[in-house]
Structure 1
Amino acid sequence: MIGAGPTGLAVALMLARQGRRVMIHERFETPRPVGAGFMLQPTGLHVLDRLGLTLAVEACGQPIDHIFGREARRGRVVLDVRYSDLKQPRQAIGIHRAAMFAILHDACIEAGVDFETGREIVAADAGHLVDSAGRRSAAFNLVIDASGARSPIATSLGAERRDLAWGALWTTVPWPGAPFDPTALQQVYLGATRMLGVLPCGTLPGAPAAPMATFFWSLKTEIWPDWYALGLGTWKDHCLRLWPELAPVMDAITDREQMTLAAYGHHTLARPVDDRLAVLGDAAHSTSPQLGQGVNMGLLDAQALANALTQHRDLGDALAAYARARRWHVRLYQALSLGFTPFYQADGRLLPWVRDHALGKVARLPLAPRLLAATVSGILLDPRAR
């Protein structure tokens, strides 16, 4: 197993509970989370239900009822997605990566998963691992690559990463309180060149009385040096002009180093398996986070692989079954993410005008709210049924 992110930890836990010996290889000296808050959609929560971890997630996460976005100049509502519109309503959960990591890591330790740290794996060959120093491991029955969007193993299988022009700056701050809604992901847009958002993400491990929020601000990654050189004061003033209620969030950001730049890319492996190899999560399919599916898709991959390994005695048959099980759901959401992104992160005026003046009206047509909620929830071509 390569990578101790949510996908790697989840599949390691599943396989260990099946009675298999599992070792996770992690490039950091100590396994740790990377990133800020994210949303567990009903699909990801379905996987956690099967792992028996949903109660632990609910204890430190924050229920999310809806996603709300408005245009900065006139305050026009252009996005209002409610989980209550689902045929079978279920809230999402905002959670910090540190909390998710702690829950999965502790469960892996309890299940007997082994960890080897401080070793960066760059290749896999017929069950052997090769690290950045050129060392080759003994053969494993199966190698699982969950090392993320820049996986060199995925590249060797033909993943052609398309770097996206737009990324985002992220940070975690204390929950700002009213008028922010603790049950909503709230966003403000200025055309498609500015997108600001506040996501409630529950509490951090060891701090149950201190609710947090993740704040993000989109930008072209090529202008990040200019942003860094500009200084916080000018940038904060700009944010407050777009969204005056952000004052407590801006007060909590006192150093540019608090803001982490996330650069996004898009690729989809045509075949996420090879000889004794399965590729999961962002290593197999990465994209922008506009639909909030990244971790959830990885959890679904983990469940599909674990299911396939119990249903097929032959490893080749199991890997082929895993690839089939995830093929169409992955392709649909990769296409949707790629199509939606320019409406929220792009130059030009046409697409944001369409978003602000047409999509909002379309979203109020009969059945449209349910379709939007199903899309955001990840249940189109519902993978839970399989």
Structure 2
Amino acid sequence: MKKLQIAIVGAGPAGLAAALYLKRSDNHVTLFERFESASAVGSGLILQPTGLTVLDDLGLFEMIRGLGSRIDRLYGADAHSGRTVLDVRYSALKGGRYGIAVHRAALFGVLYDAVLREAIDIETNIDVVSMEVGAGSAWLITDTGRRVGAFDLIVDASGSRSKINKFAYKSRDPKPLAYGAYWASLKWHPDAFDERSLQQRYRKAGIMIGVLPIGKASVADEKSAAFFWSTKPDENVKLRSAGMTQWKDNILSLWPECSVYLDQIGSFDDMALARYGHHTLPFPIGRHLSVIGDAAHSTSPQLGQGANMALLDAKALAHALHSSSDLATALSLYASSRRGHIRSFQALSRAFTPFYQSDSRILPFIRDRLVPIISGIPPAPQLLAAMVSGTLIDPFGPIGLREKVWS
């Protein structure tokens, strides 16, 4: 196949990784970002063995490891009884896998700097609201009515609020989830917290508090922690009206050790309110269009797969283009190579989320009493670790990738 003129909409992890892969295949790539300058959005995340394998393939693993915090365990307990209700250890799997928790700014910075080093074109202040397809080419349409192109391929990496994923062969609107979360990046305090664990406290399924060590946003920064608290976005006004003092007192009654983080939060404006939705495009492709990352599939963060799925998508698209003789065949191969892995984890997330974020009384009761028992009986520890790692269904073979050798 000839070298392509490619437009990538969105300079998040999915778009930046795709830009690197596609430029390295000698395509002409232009990144379009709607903000004045590309930047990271959000607090922290865990890069799982899947996403880390992609970063290793891109030659960026060591940079991420230098900034992030290695994670060996995901642990959660009932806030009142102290009963363990979640205990996932990567060591349950052979091969030495682990996760790396990072500040989103660190992940963005590593990818963005790599894009700059490779002189990939970036156009900012371009808000793409639509696209047009003509004879053998496609054009972007901006909010000002400007027509940008022509391109052989448009890659939609613009996130869950994409305005162009509706041009996929079968579009689907996200279904908003009742629960979201307040997030903040704060100074890390090791007292009572394990630097190699995600730690959480639950009160039934309506309250979830978490502390995740996320390393440094940049080499010059201090170590940080992502602090999060689940809430219903629709009740945000009520929460703010009750006041910061009441909110903090509620958390301290459930997890007193969090005082070192709550002391760093002066108002609700010091945190970001994340809203979640669930959707999976049946076909993340269209005429001269591929859809990757959250624009193609999004869900609650319970299994921590979002950014990792996006990185896998970027590799899958590059592999499909490299392996095909024409664009239509390549797009079909991209969609099929990711279908099994994505749908499996979307189904798992849909099934698990109500146990940890819902108004149900029955589900957390079952969770608190059965999960501690079942999770200690093989093969449950291995299955849980594989789900968190993102490797319960092999994501690597179909996209021409070998998993990183862990050490």
Query: 1:154, 1:343 → 2: CA distance?
Result: 30
Query: 1:50, 1:206 → 2: CA distance?
Result: 22
Residue in 2 aligned with 1:196? 209
Describe the superposition over 1:55-84 as per-residue Cα deviations: whole angstroms up to 9, x where unpaired.
000000000000000001100001000011
Residue in 2 aligned with 1:12? 19
Residue in 2 aligned with 1:179? 192
3-state DSSP class of the match of 1:165? Answer: coil
Query: 1:24, 1:170 → 2: CA distance?
Result: 28
Residue in 1 aligned with 2:181? 168
1:382 paired residue among 360, 385, 394:
394
Q: Structure 1 residues 84-93 or 61-70, which shifts more?
A: 84-93
8 A contact 2:9–2:155 mirrored in 1: yes
Residue 155 of structure 1 and its aligned partner are, at CA, apart by: 3.3
Query: 2:90, 2:264 → 1: CA distance?
Result: 30
Correspondence 1:56-71 to 2 at 5 A: 56-71=63-78
3-state DSSP class of the match of 1:236? Answer: helix
1:369 paired residue among 378, 381, 406:
381
Residue 88 of structure 1 and its aligned partner are, at CA, apart by: 2.1
Correspondence 1:135-150 to 2 at 5 A: 135-150=146-161
2:29 paired residue among 22, 35, 42:
22
Query: 1:207, 1:171 → 2: CA distance?
Result: 19
3-state DSSP class of the match of 1:201? Answer: strand
1:227 pairs with 2:236: no
- Where does the alignment leave 5 or more consecutive residues of structure 1 unmatched? none
8 A contact 1:168–1:261 mirrored in 2: yes
1:107 pairs with 2:120: no
State TM-score, norm by structure 2.
0.93
Identical counterparts, % of pairs: 49
Correspondence 1:112-151 to 2 at 5 A: 112-126=119-133, 127-151=138-162
8 A contact 1:309–1:318 mirrored in 2: yes
1:35 pairs with 2:42: yes
Query: 1:374, 1:40 → 2: CA distance?
Result: 14
1:313 pairs with 2:325: yes
Query: 2:359, 2:70 → 1: CA distance?
Result: 34
State TM-score, norm by structure 1.
0.98
Residue in 2 aligned with 1:304? 316
Letter in 2 for 1:63: R
8 A contact 1:87–1:370 mirrored in 2: no
3-state DSSP class of the match of 1:271? Answer: coil
Query: 2:227, 2:149 → 1: CA distance?
Result: 44
1:154 pairs with 2:170: no
Query: 1:269, 1:52 → 2: CA distance?
Result: 30
Residue 385 of structure 1 and its aligned partner are, at CA, apart by: 2.6
3-state DSSP class of the match of 1:303? Answer: helix
Describe the superposition over 1:152-204 as per-residue Cα deviations: whole angstroms up to 9, x where unpaired.
21234312211111100000000021110000000000000000000110002
Correspondence 1:197-346 to 2 at 5 A: 197-208=210-221, 210-346=222-358
8 A contact 2:130–2:140 mirrored in 1: yes
In the comparison of the two structures, how many residue pairs are matched?
Answer: 385
Query: 2:126, 2:241 → 1: CA distance?
Result: 35
3-state DSSP class of the match of 1:252? Answer: coil
Describe the superposition over 1:267-326 as per-residue Cα deviations: whole angstroms up to 9, x where unpaired.
110000111110000000011111000000000000000101111120111110000000
Residue in 2 aligned with 1:52? 59
Describe the superposition over 1:195-232 as per-residue Cα deviations: whole angstroms up to 9, x where unpaired.
00001100022424x11000000011111111122221
Query: 1:124, 1:199 → 2: CA distance?
Result: 39
Describe the superposition over 1:30-50 as per-residue Cα deviations: whole angstroms up to 9, x where unpaired.
011111100000000010110
Query: 1:20, 1:229 → 2: CA distance?
Result: 53
Letter in 2 for 1:176: H
Query: 2:141, 2:293 → 1: CA distance?
Result: 21
Letter in 1 for 2:151: F
